[in-house]
Amino acid sequence: MFAPPSPKRGVTLVPTSISARALFSAEGNHRSHLGSAGDVSGWQIPSWDLTIPVSVDRSTHSEPAFRKELISTLGRQSASGLQRQPDPRARSPKPEAGSRSPEPDSARMFAPFPKLFMNASGDPFHVEAAIERAWTLPATLYTDPSVFEAEKEKIFSRTWQVVGHAGQVANAGDYFTTELVGEPLLVVRGTDGRLRGFYNVCRHRAGPPASGCGSRKLFRCGYHGWTYGLDGSLISATKIEGVEEFRPEEFALIPIRIAEWFNLVFVNLDPQAQPLLDSFGELSMQAEKFPFTSMKLFERRTYDVKCNWKTYVDNYLEGYHLPSVHPGLNRELDYNAYVVEPHMPRLDGPGQPKRFSGYVRQFSPIRGAQPGDATPRRYQEASGDLTTDYFWIFPNWMLNCYPDNVSLNIVLPVEPERTLAIFEWYLAEKDHSAPAAKASVGFSDQIQIEDAAICEAVQKNLRSRSYSRGRFSVQQEKGVHAFHRMYAEVMQER
């Protein structure tokens, strides 16, 4: 279909009866035509050299079908020469009395489309299963507020989320409050030893039954004094006399799914979600070789990063950037032996629930002392079987497992382009006072500072009109590709 490039040749594309938006899309360059019904315009595309003229009638196609035919016809070529030419058939509307002169055609008709690359299927969430053919997610998914709101419902309200540590609720009556996608939550250990979770919303008029953290025998709403037991049951409703057909058992706190693993507390707002351990697949076996449960919290830090949460996760899921961004970390790891091991969700069968939610394991041998070292390495005596393992669990939490410490990362979306990265470092309690403990935190802190800087730079560049979506390194970005596939699948679910 394509002829050899020739600057002297051009193609005229004529969309007719445009009712909304005609999209012209190519790798890295997008232009849109906004017009009213019946608008007829001629389009010359001198940088696209086809052997035949192209004409697509907008009026005979639905929006997705139109985009599919248009993009399939034009192919993926440079659109840098896209220009509008007046069509002699089109009548210029007469300006109304007192109205301002219309904007020039170049400004009115060729505002850059906001970088949402639509593939031939018309689906921005399509990511090829084969990494060799796949494209990354469109840049607009990292900036669009409407996408951010949809993610809250489709992803963060339906997945297991880390909200605390078992040490916070070790004894009967221990509790803490938190939030997840704007929902106020209450986590408490009952007198029966059972861990429970509830919406922290009084059933009377939505006051808060609890605040902060601590230990209680019951919860009293701070608004009108309704009282609840540790099991969520309504104990007392003040001044409720005279209310007909009032049944206290119908006004208990609303429960949420809750579970514990690896001394971590998880909640899930989806009542139909699969059990936590069932969602892990092989993760439990791989992570539990590290003595995390015997470690104690040493330090917690929160990093406020000006980027979309997916930008942060993308960066975490590849070691491609180690030599450039993390020279200190790269010195400790064997970069050439760095392995990325995606574990994609599997289904039991058609129409059946996922067997597990999906995660990525990255690991590398740790380098011990090397000839010519000017400074000692963190693990001088490292042998060939000593590794560092990094686990990312869809969608937003990680475990970084080193021989002597484990750090937990939680990536919390705050705004479309703002993320909180929460780090908690866990070490054996006997090591808390050792210089190596502070050295471990300092080492990780430097890595985080470097990651935050590159993520913020990338986030800024995702808004550039020059970029829409990219390609994956087959060798280095299997983890990012796996994340994009998981994300796209979940966002397409109803």
Quote the CA–CA distance of 149 and 157 in Å, as a whole number: 11
d(CA 194, CA 175): 12
Looking at the predicted structure, is the pLDDT value of residue 16 above 90? no
The strand pairing partners of 33, in sequence order, are 22
Average pLDDT over residues 254-274: 96
Of 282 and 371, more confident: 282
Q: Specify the pLDDT at position 124.
A: 83
* DSSP codes joined into one string, 66-114: HHHHHHHHH-S---TT-EEE--TTPPPPPPPTTPPPPPPHHHHH-PBP-
How high is the pLDDT of residue 349? Answer: 54
pLDDT (tens digit per residue) in 237-248? 999 999 999 999
Give me the half-sphere count of Cα atoms (radius 13 Å) on the Cβ side of residue 42.
13
Distances (CA, A) of 290 to 5, 284, 285, 337, 342: 59, 10, 10, 21, 20
Interior angle at CA 300, CA 297 and CA 306, nearest 5: 150
Evaluate if residue 104 carries a pLDDT over 60: no
Distance CA 83, CA 12 (A): 10
Is the preceding omega at residue 403 within 30 degrees of 0, hence cis?
no
- Among residues 255, 262, 258, the alpha carbon closest in space to that of 273 is found at 258
pLDDT of residue 216: 97
For helices 309-316 and 478-492, angle between their N-to-C axes, nearest 10 degrees: 140
Q: What is the pLDDT of residue 19?
A: 34
For residues 182 and 152, the answer to whether their CB atoms sit within 8 Å is: yes
Residue 388 in contact with residue 329, Cβ under 8 Å?
no
Q: Report helix, strand or coil for 327.
A: helix
pLDDT at residue number 241:
92
Single-letter amino acid code for the residue at 168: Q
Place of tokens 């861990």: 195
Name which residue leads in pLDDT, 56 or 36: 56
- The domain over range 161-259 is classified in CATH as 2.102.10.10: yes
315-364 per-position pLDDT tens digit: 999 888 888 888 776 666 666 777 899 999 875 555 555 656 899 998 87
Which sign does the torsion angle of CA 455, 459, 460, 465 carry? positive
Per-residue confidence (pLDDT) for residue 68, from 0 to 100: 47
Tell me, which fold does domain 275-492 have in CATH?
Naphthalene 1,2-dioxygenase Alpha Subunit; Chain A, domain 1 (3.90.380)
CA atoms within a 13 Å half-sphere pointing along the CA-CB vector of 216: 22
Q: Which residue has the higher pLDDT, 175 or 124?
A: 175
Q: What is the pLDDT, as a whole number, of residue 333?
A: 63
Q: Which has more pLDDT, 113 or 345?
A: 345
Q: Biggest alpha carbon distance in the chain?
A: 88
Are 58 and 22 within 8 A, CB to CB? yes
Query: Considering Cα of 302, then 304, then 308, then 311, what sign does the dihedral take?
Result: negative
Name the more confident of 379 and 16.
379
Higher pLDDT, 264 or 3: 264
The pLDDT of 194-223, averaged and rounded, is: 98
Is the pLDDT at 265 greater than 70, yes or no?
yes
Q: Which letter does DSSP use for residue 200 in this model?
A: S
CB 227 within 8 A of CB 221: yes
Average pLDDT of span 40-60: 40
pLDDT at residue 217 in the model: 98
Q: How far is CA 257 from the centre of its chain?
A: 22
Name residues whose C-beta falls within 8 Å of residue 379's C-beta, 6 or more positions apart in sequence. Answer: 332, 366, 367, 368, 386, 403
Q: Single out the residue of 121, 171, 182 nearest to residue 148, CA to CA.
A: 182
Per-residue CA distances from 255 to 202, 275, 300 (Å): 12, 15, 29
DSSP string, 427-452: EEGGGTTSHHHHHHHHHHHHHHHHHH
Write the pLDDT tens digit of every residue in 403-425.
Answer: 888 999 999 999 999 999 999 99
> What sign does the dihedral 84-88-89-94 (CA atoms) show?
positive
Choose the most confident range, by mean pLDDT, from 116-125, 167-176, 321-330, 337-346.
167-176
* Cβ-based neighbours of 144, under 8 Å, separated by 6 or more: 114, 416
pLDDT digits (tens, 9 = 90+) for 382-402: 455 677 899 999 999 999 998
Rg, C-alpha atoms of the chain: 28
Rounded CA separation 483/494 (Å): 19
The per-residue pLDDT for 454 is 95
**Residue ranges per structural domain of the chain:** 1-91, 161-259, 275-492
Identify residue 31 by its one-letter amino acid code: R
For the stretch 183-198, pLDDT in tens is 999 999 999 999 999 9
Are the beta carbons of 23 and 118 closer than 8 angstroms? yes
What whole-number distance in Å separates Cα of residue 34 and Cα of residue 109? Answer: 6
**pLDDT score at 74:** 44
Q: Read off the pTM.
A: 0.73
Taking the C-alpha atoms of residue 209 and residue 52, their distance in angstroms, rounded to an integer, is 71
Q: What per-residue confidence (pLDDT) applies to 376?
A: 53
pLDDT (0 to 100) of residue 372: 56
Confidence grade of residue 62 (pLDDT, cut at 50, 70, 90): low
pLDDT (0 to 100) of residue 404: 83
